[in-house]
A and B are shown apart, each in its own frame.
Chain A
C-alpha cells in the first residue's frame, strides 16, 4: 500500500485541527520549471548588515508565517513589513509539530495550513515577495519539511525562489551535515541558533558551520512575546560578540521597541520580532485594513528603536 494514497484517502475524516493538511504534490508539479526564469535581485546579508553599519543603526527583522492567515493576506502583510522599514525578512513555513514555538506561532502555523499552505506554495510565496523587494529573506522551518522534499531539492528551490538563508529550528550542528553542504552548493547561508546554555566550545562548533548571521535566542524557552527582557541576555550577547565576527541577531520573546534598543546596545547587530506581530494578525483577522495599518505601525516603531539616536 502506498502511504501517499493512504493519506489522500483519509482526507476529510478529521476536523480542522487534526493535521490532515493539504497535500502539495499538485502544487509541486505545477511549480516545476517556472522558477529559473525569474530574474530577481537579492541583497546579501552581508551587504544589508554593511548598509546598517554605515548608518550606525541596528537591523530590524520581522518574522511571520507564510500563508497566515491565508496566502494573499499574508503577502500583503509582508508588503506592510517592508514598507514599515524591515531590513530583512524571516519567513516561517508552517509545520504540524513546531516544538520550538509557543502558542502564538503554533496558531499561525495552523491558520496557514488550514488555508492550504504547502511547501511548494511557500516557495511561490517567496517568489511573489521577490517581485517587490530585494532585502534578505531567511526561511525558518522544521527539518522534516526539508528532508521530505529532499535536502538538495529543497535548497535548490529556495535558491531559485530568492531565499538568502535557511534556519531549521530542530537541526543542531550534529545533524546538519547534509544541509550545510546543500547550502554551500546553492550559495545560501545556513543559520544556526545559539542560547544562554550554549557553552563556548559549542559556540565554536556552531560558528564554523554558520553563515549570514547567528540567531541568538534571548530566553530559555519557546517563541512568544515576553514582557521583560532578562538581564542575562545582555551578558550573553556580550559573550557571543567576543567569540565571533558573525552578525548577531537576537530573537524569541522580544516584544517591545525598548528590548530591541537594549540588545543592539549590548552588541547585537539586529533583532528578530515575530510573536508580537503575529498577535496583531490574530487579533485583527476580521478587518484587513486595520490589520495592515497596525502591522505597518508596529514595524515603524520597532525599526525606529534600531536607529542611531536610539542606540547611542
Chain B
C-alpha cells in the first residue's frame, strides 16, 4: 500500500491476506488514473452525457417560506438511475475498464447501487453480477428486474441476515476467489482502503458543484450542509468541499429506525461503538463480544450496521455533527417535500429533509441558508410509502 488509508485512527485494510495484492493493484490504478487526462475526460463525458451532470442547486421557495430559512436542494435525484450512486459506479466502472478487468461484482441493499452498477456494466460492456440478500430480493422485485434488464445477473444471498451486510460478505468472498479478473465495485465510502478514499473522490463532484452554485446564487457559503448517511458516500461527497470552511456546519443524518433507544435502528454513529467490519475500523453496531448486529431503517440505503471510516473521524474531531431521524420523521420529510415542492425524494434523502425542518425551526437558525443533499428520488419507494400511509396501489 502506498497510503495508509487512515482517517485519524479509522479506516485501514482489515482483510484476509489474499485480498491485499488486489487492493494494492487497485490503489495503484486509482492513484494513476485519477491524474490521467484521458481517463478524466472520458469520465467527465459520461457524467455529463450519460448521467446528466451537473445537477441543479434548486432554491426550494415554498419550504423556505414555511420554515423561515433559505433552503437549497442539491438535485442528485435528477441523475440517471435516480440517485448519486451513478457518480461512483461510472468512476469505478471506468477504472475497472482501464485496469483490464473482465467482470464487475457489486453488493446492493435496496437495489439503487445494483442498478447504477448494472447500467454502467451495460454502458462499458463489462459483465456484471450483483449480490443481494434473499430478503431484499423478495422486497425489491422491481429493482431486481431493472438490473436484469440491464444485463446484470442478480445473485441471491441466503446466508446470515439475508440482507445488505451478508450481500457484502458474499461479494468479498467472490472477490477473494476471482481477484485476477474481477473488480469489486463497492457502493459507498466504506470497506478497506482504497475504497473510502476512492469513492469519496468520485462523489466529490457533488460538493464541487454545490459550492460553485451557492456562491453564484448567494455570494456566500451556506450556514449548513445536511445529508443522509448510510455508508456515507453522498454525505462525504457534498461535505468534502466544505470541510476546510469552518463556518459551514456539516450535519449527517442517520436512519434512526424506530428510535435510537429502541434497539431497532441504523444510527451507527449515534449508538454504535468502535469496531472492525468489512475491512475497516469505524463505528459499528455490535454486541458486547463484537458480533455484528442487524440494523433497522425504513430506508434500505440507511439500513447498514457500519459506516464509512471518514465519518467516524469527522464525528470524533467534531468537524461534523451526526443526528438520527426516525422512520416516522423521515416519512414526514417525504410528504413535506412532495407536497410543498413537487419533488418526491428517496426515503434516504427524506431523512435529510426531515432534519432540515428541525434545524430550520430552531430559534438560533432562523433566516440561515441550508443546503440539503437530495441524494435520490423516491420512485423506488412508492409501494413502501403507500403501505406506510395506509394506501393501496
Contacts and interface: CB of A to CB of B under 8 A. Distances in A.
A7 B289 contact: no
Interface in A168-216: 169-172, 174-175, 192-195, 197-199, 202, 206
A149 B161 CA distance: 24
B286 A148 contact: yes
Interface in A112-126: 113, 118-119
A191 B277 CA distance: 21
B15 to A, nearest CB: 6
A28 interface: yes
A10 B263 contact: yes
B158 to A, nearest CB: 9
B18 A220 contact: yes
B172 interface: yes
Nearest to A113: B291
A148 B290 contact: yes
Contacts of B293: 7, 10, 19-20, 96
A19 B160 contact: yes
B294 A19 contact: yes
Interface residues of A, number: 60
Interface string B289-309: 111111000000000000000
Interface string A1-15: 101101111110110
Contacts of A4: 288
Given A19-B161, A145-B290, A148-B289, A220 B177 contact: yes
B14 interface: yes
B177 A6 contact: no
Contacts of A171: 14
Contacts of B160: 17, 19, 96-97, 106, 110
A144 interface: yes
A18 interface: yes
Contacts of A28: 288
Contacts of A9: 261-263
A222 interface: yes
B176 A21 contact: no
Interface in B288-333: 288-294
A41 to B, nearest CB: 29
B82 interface: no
A102 B176 CA distance: 11
B14 A143 contact: yes
Chain B contact residues: over half helix, strand or loop, or mixed? loop
B264 A10 contact: yes
B1 interface: yes
B291 A19 contact: yes
Contacts of B265: 6
- Residue among B273, B278, B293 with the highest chain A CB neighbour number at 10 A: B293
Contact of A13 (B14, B22, B263): B263
B231 interface: no
A77 B165 CA distance: 32
A99 interface: yes
B276 interface: yes
Contacts of A11: 263
B275 A96 contact: no
A110 B263 CA distance: 21
B271 interface: yes
A146 to B, nearest CB: 8
A102 B16 contact: no
Interface of A: 1, 3-4, 6-11, 13-14, 17-21, 23-25, 28, 95-103, 106, 110, 113, 118-119, 142-145, 147-149, 169-172, 174-175, 192-195, 197-199, 202, 206, 217, 220-222
Interface of B: 1, 4, 12-18, 20-22, 159-162, 165-166, 169, 172-173, 176-177, 179, 260-265, 270-279, 281, 284-294
- Give the top 10 A-B pairs by smallest Cβ distance, nearest first: A10-B263, A148-B290, A221-B177, A193-B17, A144-B290, A9-B263, A96-B291, A144-B276, A100-B16, A197-B21
11 contacts: A11-B263, A19-B160, A25-B288, A28-B288, A96-B292, A99-B169, A148-B275, A172-B15, A174-B4, A175-B13, A193-B17
